[in-house]
Structure 1
Amino acid sequence: MLTASELADRLTRDAEAVCRHYLSNGHRAGNYWVVGDVANNVGRSLYVHLAGPRKGRWTDAATGQYGDLLDLVREACGLGDFRDIADEARRFLSEPQPKPSSSRSGDTPDYPLGNRPASERARRLLRMTQPLVGTLADSYLRQRAILRASLHPALRFHPSCYYRDLVTGRTTSYPALIAAVTDPVGAVTGVHRTWLDPDGYGKAKVHTPRRALGGLLGNAVRFDFPVHGPVPVMAAGEGLESMLSLVAVMPGMPMVSALTANHLAAFRLPAGCLRLYIAADADAAGRNGIEALSRRAQSLGVLPLVLTPQLGDFNEDLRRLGPDRVTAQLRPQLAPEDALAFLAV
């Protein structure tokens, strides 16, 4: 049976065929295959090298995701277990398939995995998760001074989420914090994974402990967000922990984590929004995302207001300064009616 590295090498030999199968909405442009993202959306953000020393390597400029063609199969099909990824790669390569075990017989899809819709791929991973309360992911967030994360249905826990090192090809599993990415009507379009150290010492000691999967563009992880009706006031930002820190001191205000600066810039504002608070991060990418979202908000008649942390981000503020100082720091940055409605006295 082929190893992970051998499977990746076999896929690389037929790189264009792999792209035409899993990224059929893309096209060849010189020595690259160009498409919107790993969910096979139309666009030009993701490019795959079809020739040269980097043949088979791909990068999504919008999300920062990258890897080889085995990683592409994993992301395109929404697979979490290496056995499933290897099975799909062998199917594509016409390798003999191992006999399915009885424990997995109920998970056979009724359509090819490569054609699985993006929403279903995300839901498939979410079905493997459990509620956050009392788990290692809950403990991880509590260590970051986020004490009530288990109240948010968008956050889940996976006890053994597949992880593949993009450099060495080594595969293993770690517990993970899973966040559901949803569209404006609440449908799951993707997930965000934060792999955790099994002994409880923060994030897993891996090269990329955070990765997104699925359709992020325009969507977000939502907290205290109504599915129906207008949202006159809300807050948006990048990181999960940063936005959860704001939720901790402004309970009840609808908030979203767009996960990256590029996706923050592309976030689709809800109907009826009048004021949009944008949580700042202290880096150039964050500033670009804020400026782009601010311009789009203004064009829609929405007032954008930037919330600035005292330190690097709002989670660092919450951990090092405490909730009282964060509350005092936010009060003059909010409209008076919003400070009265959402900030603790």
Structure 2
Amino acid sequence: MRHDAATIARMLAERAPSLVRELLPNGRKHGAEWRCGSLAGERGQSLAVHLGGARSGVWADFSSAERGDALDLVAAVLYGGDRRKALVWARQWLGLGNGDVGPVVRRSAPMGRTSEVDTDAQARRAAARKVWFAGEPLRMGSPAAAYLAGRGIDLLELGRVPGSLRFHTGLWNGESQRHWPAMLAGICAPDGAMVAMHRTWLAPTPSGGWSKAPLRDAKMTLGSYAGGCIRLWRGASGKPLAFAPEGETAVLAEGIETALSIAISCPEHRVLCAVSLANMARVVLPAAIRTVIVAADNDEGNASARRALDVACQWFLSQGRDVRLAMPDRKDADWNDILQEMDA
């Protein structure tokens, strides 16, 4: 009997714990995942492979944005992405073909580049954490809270300030070569570790409020965050993302203000911020989250933005989740615009 690629991928997924030890022997088990540094198999955390459940065999490399099913993993590790060669190997490994499985020749890490990239990534992560701890909890009455209030976001309506937000009284800005107050947001990797930070520099307004500082780039990230997100609101369960209850719904938005607007309007849902549209298709969610609502901006006429949204929706659909796209009716509007109009 000749098994097709989908069947082979499913059979590999059923044996995911054995498969990862064959392909990536230097990795280690981390909860329900097998973790290593990359498809080259070195020690680390960037590559995660699900070991069981509905997503068994599904993997993602947060450093390269590569992802796929169990057959894709074989192809990526052994054959530079060639699924045809991977099928031959997989049939032999599963005992479906004639002869023995040939020797495994794993992908090599780029010569001289991996250590440089790792060193740079670690330095940026350390810098992000240093700034984070130099800040203070975001309190009502602070310029950061006033900035959000100016965007129609009253944190008192949530009942508490999200722990992923902080305030810095004077953060250095390279563009202007001076310090500004800033709102900080921690970006966490799928394992919960803070790997990067989002910064919004602030300035007072003539009316006595606060807005974004008059900079070309008043919002910037520090550190690599592919696959991660800002965990803004835990929803009705109140549980950390890793312990989300089975069947939970999560709302994924692009920006912080949009995400907070949704948390105020729909506090029963878990709300996450992807930081960028490109990262929406990389965010890694636990299997317990069965429904993903993609809260999109209405960028009508922007073909690249629409393609990015389609990729994100397809990514979550491929994981067997229920995916819904929520977009304002008005062109060039986001959900924060809608919240402000409702409050006007």
Instruction: Pick the TM interval, shorter chain.
Output: 0.5 to 0.7
The correspondence of residues 302-313 of structure 1 with structure 2, limited to 5 A, is 302-311=321-330, 312-313=333-334
Structure with higher Rg: it is: 2
Contact conserved, 1:178 with 1:191, CA < 8 A, in 2?
Answer: yes
Residue number among 135, 149, 157 corresponding to 1:129 in the alignment: 135
From 234, 248, 254, give the equivalent of 2:270: 254
Q: 1:116 to 1:216 in 2, by over 3 A?
A: closer
* Contact 2:146–2:210 (8 Å) recurs in 1: no
Q: Distance in 2 between matches of 1:238 and 1:116?
A: 25
What is the CA–CA distance in structure 1 between the aligned matches of 2:271 and 2:282, rounded to whole Å?
15
**Kindly tell me: are residues 271 and 220 of structure 1, through their superposed partners in 2, closer, same or farther at Cα, counting changes over 3 Å?**
same
Does 2:286 correspond to 1:270? yes
1:253-289: CA deviations, max 9, x gaps? 1111111110112111222121110001122344233
Does the Cα contact within 8 Å between 1:309 and 1:317 map onto a contact in 2?
yes
Partner residue of 2:83? none
Match of 2:231, SS state, is strand
Counterpart of 1:223 (choices 232, 243, 259) is 232
The whole-number CA distance in structure 1 between the counterparts of 2:122 and 2:243 is 31
Asked if the contact 1:237/1:280 (under 8 Å) is kept, the reply is yes
Identity %: 26
**Structure-to-structure mapping, 1:69-84, within 5 angstroms:** none
Partner residue in 1 for 2:341? 320
Q: Which residue does the alignment assign to 2:187?
A: 181
Question: Paired residue for 2:165?
Answer: 155
CA drift at 1:181? 0.4
Which consecutive unaligned segments of at least 5 residues does structure 2 have?
1-37, 39-61, 66-115, 235-239
2:252 corresponds, among 232, 236, 258, to: 236
- The 1:197/1:305 distance shift into structure 2, 3 A limit, reads same
Shift in alpha-carbon separation, 1:214–1:234, aligned structure 2, 3 A: same
Q: Which letter maps to 1:217?
A: A
User: What whole-Å deviation, never above 9, does each CA across 1:86-111 have from its counterpart, x for those lacking one?
Assistant: xxxxxxxxxxxxxxxxxxxxxxxxxx
Match of 1:141 in 2: 148
TM-score normalised by structure 1 residue count: 0.57
RMSD: 2.7
CA contact (8 A) 1:310 1:317 kept: no
Following TM superposition, by how much is the alpha carbon of 1:115 offset from its aligned partner in structure 2, in angstroms? Answer: 7.7
Q: Judging changes above 3 Å, is the alpha-carbon distance between structure 1 residues 271 and 117 closer, same or farther for their aligned structure 2 residues? A: farther
Contact 1:266 1:293 in 2 (8 A): yes
Give the paired residue count: 215
Q: How does 1:1-345 map to 2 (within 5 A)?
A: 43=64, 116-133=122-139, 134-148=141-155, 151-165=161-175, 170-199=176-205, 200-225=209-234, 226-231=240-245, 232-283=248-299, 284=302, 285-311=304-330, 312-322=333-343
CA distance in 2, matches of 1:290, 1:159: 36
**4+ residue runs of structure 1 moved beyond 6 angstroms?**
none
TM-score (norm 2): 0.57
Structure 1: stretches of 5+ with no match in the other structure = 1-24, 26-40, 45-75, 78-112, 324-345
| Structure 2 Cα separation of the partners of residues 115 and 269 of structure 1 | 23
Name the amino acid aligned to 2:168.
Answer: H
In 2: Cα distance, 1:154 partner to 1:115 partner = 21
